[in-house]
């Protein structure tokens, strides 16, 4: 679970830098935000079901 938390933090930092450099509505920032959403969904699923997401659903 710690590795997903690290991935979330890295992705969050990346998104913040993209937003500051190229703007909130830039496609790169939006894509990064979607990737962060996906990581957060994985984390939430793992935390609340106590079963790793990859065991119940295929990761894209």
pLDDT digits (tens, 9 = 90+) for 18-48: 999 999 999 999 999 999 999 999 999 988 8
| 9 pLDDT more than 60 | yes
Cα–Cα distance measured from residue 49 to residue 60, given in angstroms and rounded to the nearest whole number: 20
pTM, 2 dp: 0.78
Cα–Cα distance measured from residue 60 to residue 33, given in angstroms and rounded to the nearest whole number: 16
Q: Which residues contact 26 (CB under 8 A, 6 or more apart)?
A: 18, 19
């Amino acid at each position: 679970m710690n590795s997903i938390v690290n991935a979330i933090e890295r992705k969050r930092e990346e998104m913040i830098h993209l937003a500051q450099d190229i703007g909130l509505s830039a496609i790169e920032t939006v894509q990064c935000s979607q990737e962060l959403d996906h990581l957060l969904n994985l984390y939430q699923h793992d935390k609340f079901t106590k079963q790793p997401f990859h065991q119940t659903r295929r990761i894209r």
